[in-house]
Amino acid sequence: MRRDFIIGIDSGSTTTKAVVFSSTGAIVGTGRRRVAQHMERPHHVERDMHEAWQAVIGSIRDALSAAGLEGSAIASVGVTAHGDGVFLLDRSRNPLGRGIMSLDSRATAIHERWKRDGISDLTLPIAGQRPYVYSANTLLAWIRDNEPERYQAIGSVIFAKDWIRYCLTGEIATDLTEASTSFTDLYTQDYSDDLLDVLGLADIRNALPEMRLSCEQGGVVTAEAAALTGLVVGTPVSVGLHDVTAAAVGLGHTRAGDLSITAGTFSINEVFRDRPVVGEGWACRAGYRRGLWNCMAISPASSSNLEWLAKILMPGDQDAARVLSAEIEARLSQPGARPAVPLYHPFLFGSPYDAPASASLFGVQSWHDRADLFQAMVEGTVFNHREHVDALKQTGPVRRIGISGGGSGQPAIAQMFADILGMPVRIPEVREAGALGAALTASVAVGLYANLEDAVAAQDVPMHTYRPQPDRERVYEGIYRRYVALTQAMKPFWSDLYDGGTSSLKSATTERSRENDLMEAGPVLNYAMAGTMTQGARP
């Protein structure tokens, strides 16, 4: 049998998917398996590494079955998975505890100390970003301080997709996009000893795996993995991509100025640049090849809000989010003005701000129904994306915007993105953008295409373009300004919201007065864009 098909594996925060693609990007078969998040302790969000591998096994078998194919039809396999966090192996290459996910917040105290002591500021000119609470380097510092025996036993520091590829091939490696989340020099795009020294992590340098390019071969399927998955022994597996970069590639984005939005558990907003650009409001990481950078503005404040509300409004209904989405789809597809729905700040799990934040509904009245609340949440999550996109526009011109995830395939929601962002947005018909991006690296790894750009160009994935509607764009611009102003007004109250109001009211009043003065002095939209920016060569 000819090997005409590629499998892309995408192991997300809650679901692992294996998707069989044709040479032109058409989905032939899909397998899905849920993967548990273990949260036995406050602030700890973990994944059992063996359970993650079992989900991959099941999803591959399901995808092959759905496609009506044998493993011999698969030319290559590509892998992506939820990014950041950290997965550890001991020196015998066995899992060293559970993998730690990017929703984890155990290292908050270390993160705050690094900010207070100026350590975070020292990392910016080296790495192009400050550490996040859930970055591998921050989590390793937490393990060093709190679990010293585990820290001393570390043999390999890898990421979620690297673990899956190891299970498939028996080879340990990572790629440029993953390594740059925590360990690399912004300008050389190699591992940085200076960065490790600043963070007190020099002793794990030898545990950092070989760093390869995403489209290189990262091994072949072993006999053991073949018996479990139904793949053929010797099937090549590409090194693969960090999940957000995979989603961008799956949208057809490979060039500087291509801006990609993923509306998933996190609000992911990223734009490729052909030079490093450092500034406030985004992180600058490596792209999928050397000489390409990826400026990212992210926060845990997107579609997870909608899933939460769906469970609250319609408990026990597995289709609650779909039902509520259909209700607002029907409403927004009608001509006329936007209904007077409340205004929502989507900070249930975090925010873009360097401060504690809480979600809020403003302007709720007795006549509002569940569709009003759900619409407010959708608008609030898109406003949060808008704030990130506005920051990324400082890094250079934007050629085009593509969006995946979070119900963006629904016409009314896609149109909302266009109206709120004030730019045309492109939505692919193929919904598995991350899996497609991973599969395209696999197609290059076996020589079907010379490079990732050629692989993307060969895909025949229909795109729908939504353009801003002038009337609604004007309405949303006014609402967005109100959203920003209310955010500023609430900031002084976040830190002591749950302590009974024992903090000084005078301090809050002073802070509000200062922020009001700032807003009167200039456009409120500028507050998220303050700071300096450097481009190109190392300062």
DSSP letters spanning 95-146: B-SPEEPTT--TTHHHHHHHHHTTHHHHHHHHHSSPPPTTSHHHHHHHHHHH
The mean per-residue pLDDT over the stretch 297-326 comes to 80
Is the pLDDT reported for residue 532 higher than 60?
A: no
- Structure confidence at residue 109 (pLDDT): 93
Q: 22: pLDDT confidence band, cut at 50, 70 and 90?
A: very high
Q: What is the mean pLDDT of residues 384-404?
A: 95
Which pLDDT belongs to residue 484?
Answer: 95
Residue 201 has pLDDT above 50, yes or no: yes
Q: What is the pLDDT of residue 405?
A: 79
Flag whether pLDDT at 300 surpasses 90. no
Q: What is the mean pLDDT of residues 43-71?
A: 97
Rounded to whole angstroms, the Cα distance separating 429 from 418 reads 17
Cα–Cα separations (whole angstroms), residue 262 to 130, 244, 249, 427: 22, 7, 12, 11
Residues in the chain: 539
- Write out the two tokens for 307: 């899933």
Tell me: pLDDT of 305 over 70: yes
Query: CA of 112: how far to CAs of 143, 217, 355, in Å?
Result: 16, 39, 10
Are the CB atoms for 470 and 39 separated by under 8 Å? no
pLDDT band at 339 (very low <50, low <70, confident <90, very high): low
Per-residue pLDDT band at 340 (split at 50, 70, 90): confident
Return d(Cα 454, Cα 208) in angstroms, integer.
31
Question: What phi, psi does 337 have (nearest 5°)?
Answer: -75, 160
The predicted model gives 84-102 an average pLDDT of 96
Query: Of the ranges 13-27, 53-67, 319-333, 511-525, which is most confident?
Result: 53-67
Contact status, residue 308 vs residue 269, Cβ threshold 8 Å: no
Rounded average pLDDT over 172-187: 97
Q: Report residue 294 as tokens.
A: 């990826």
Looking at 24-38, 145-159, 295-309, which range is the least confident one? 295-309
Q: Please state the separation of Cα 105 from the chain's center in Å.
A: 16
- What's the confidence (pLDDT) of residue 276? 96
Binned at pLDDT 50, 70 and 90, residue 24 comes out as confident
Give, for 154, the enclosing helix (H) or strand (E). strand 154-158
For residue 497, the model assigns a pLDDT of 76
For residues 388-393, give the mean pLDDT: 96
pLDDT given at position 500: 60
What is the band of 337 on the pLDDT scale with cuts at 50, 70, 90?
low
The answer on pLDDT for 519 being more than 70 is no
pTM to 2 decimal places: 0.87
Q: What is the mean pLDDT of residues 412-434?
A: 90
Residue 463: closest CA among 25, 23, 8, 28: 25
